[in-house]
Amino acid sequence: MRYQRRQAVAVGLLVTAALAHLAAPGPADSRAGGEPPVPAVAQQNQMHRVVHQLQQRLHTLPQDQDSWARLGASYVELARVTADPAYYAKAEGALRNAGDTGLAAIGMGTLANARHDFHAARDWADKAIAALPSSAEAHGVLADALTQLGDDAGAEAAVQRMLDLKPNTASFARASFHLELHGDVDGARSAMQRALAAAATPEEIAFCRYRLGELAFDHNRLDEAAQHYEQGLAARGDDMTLTQGMAKVAAARGDVPAALDGYRRLTARAPLPQYLQEYAELLEAAGKAEEAEKQYEVLTEQQRLMESQGAFDDLAAALFAADRGDGMQALRHAETEWSRRQSVFVADAMAWALHMSGRDAEALGYSDRAMSLGWKNATFSYHRGMILAALGRVGEAQEALVQALRLNANFSPLQALKAGRKLAELRGGR
């Protein structure tokens, strides 16, 4: 899975975790342990019921700020599970009605992270921490924002504070992600195992299994990845992220019809940009160019819809344009995102966009910045290899491309094929 799309999924899931305590039903509504998995459709229905109950309560008690905060949290979650960004505006309205409270600030920060407005998320997190200094959730919102803004030291401090306050699934998951970004894959896996051990709900179990599956998939361990995805689905049937994981595994194993069927069902239910792009790339790699183009068109429309609701993602747009060969458009989006934040994610997008614009000497400098934390990421290595090849640094280019495929030979249906072809070309030219 391409790293930028996995980032989107991971941020969305951690965003949901940050508001779980707000959106969760009260004691009288809690589900007993040992229940069967909750399908995604059932989950949506359950959330709609929670929203309806909160709306009824607020009709009677319009000054109940906690209920407004819970309603806002529920709308953020509905935006995630339905891929309908219209819920963002509803969430913002509900959270503003929650008043100037710490819980409302946590909700606003979480919403801002979901919209990729990471500066606003950081500011809301600071307000939440000022009001609720012992809130692990507030520090989690801050950690998410600072990670995306490229403030590595600040993100590490926020994650550590969260662990100190509440060593639970959400805090261990953030610790895992931080370790992964720094190249400590074993540490990341260990932290996610601790997150799984602390998981108390089917949703948390599914999330942990998904992340463990991603760590395995991203390092060429397909059987292990499939096992985690399957165990996650056993906890919460028909989960979107886990369904996508199984589709990826099917494609990696060469069962393209099963993979396409999985993506077809997934995008029909949740037309999220990351799923649409993966589906389109798989169709294109399978020689179904016309069907792929239709999915790319749907993706473009979905991006416009997200932007209309205040959810801008120039990072994903830059990488999408670069992968499609549109260097000018890619660079425009990458420079816009770089003006907002200088994280390793955006540095790699700048490198790739500059490469596709024929500016490889500049691109290499951004690639250096992208690699600065030590993240063992196949896409980063692939981009670096292609840049080095364009600069005529054949030996270094081969090394980078070999590393990309050794890390994850299935990082992208299309780009992995290009990596293999370029590597063969470079070797043939010796």
Q: What is the pLDDT of residue 36?
A: 37
In which band, very low, low, confident or very high, does the pLDDT at 341 lie, cut at 50, 70 and 90?
very high
Query: Looking at residues 310-325, what average pLDDT do you find?
Result: 91
264-297 pLDDT, tens digit each: 999 998 888 899 999 999 999 999 999 999 999 9
Q: Is pLDDT above 90 for 335? A: yes
Q: What is the mean pLDDT of the chain?
A: 90
Which one has a higher pLDDT value, 9 or 197?
A: 197
56-108 pLDDT, tens digit each: 999 999 999 999 999 998 999 888 888 788 999 999 999 999 999 999 999 99
For CATH 1.25.40.10, the residue range(s) in the chain are 3-255, 315-428
Q: What is the pLDDT of residue 46?
A: 78
Work out the percent of the chain whose per-residue pLDDT is above 70: 89
Dihedrals φ, ψ of 238, to 5°?
65, 25
Q: Is pLDDT above 90 for 327? A: yes
Which one has a higher pLDDT value, 36 or 130?
A: 130
Q: Is pLDDT above 90 for 177? A: yes
> What pTM value is reported for the model?
0.88
Q: Is pLDDT above 60 for 41? A: no
Q: Is pLDDT above 90 for 17? A: no
Sequence letter at residue 63: Q
Which one has a higher pLDDT value, 44 or 349?
A: 349
Query: Looking at residues 393-421, what average pLDDT do you find?
Result: 97
Q: What is the pLDDT of residue 21?
A: 46
Hey, what are 66's tokens? 């906690």
Q: Which of 39-43, 125-129, 226-230 has the lowest mean pLDDT?
A: 39-43
In which band, very low, low, confident or very high, does the pLDDT at 25 lie, cut at 50, 70 and 90?
very low
409-427 pLDDT, tens digit each: 999 999 999 999 999 999 9
Q: What is the pLDDT of residue 222?
A: 97
In which band, very low, low, confident or very high, does the pLDDT at 250 lie, cut at 50, 70 and 90?
very high
In which band, very low, low, confident or very high, does the pLDDT at 55 lie, cut at 50, 70 and 90?
very high
Q: Which CATH architecture is the domain 3-255 placed in?
A: Alpha Horseshoe (1.25)
Q: What is the pLDDT of residue 39?
A: 47
Q: What is the pLDDT of residue 20?
A: 47
355-374 pLDDT, tens digit each: 999 999 999 999 999 999 99
Residue 44 near residue 78, CB atoms below 8 Å: yes
Query: Looking at residues 241-264, what average pLDDT do you find?
Result: 97
Q: What is the pLDDT of residue 29?
A: 33
Q: Is pLDDT above 60 for 31? A: no
Q: Which CATH architecture is the domain 315-428 placed in?
A: Alpha Horseshoe (1.25)
Q: What is the pLDDT of residue 307?
A: 84
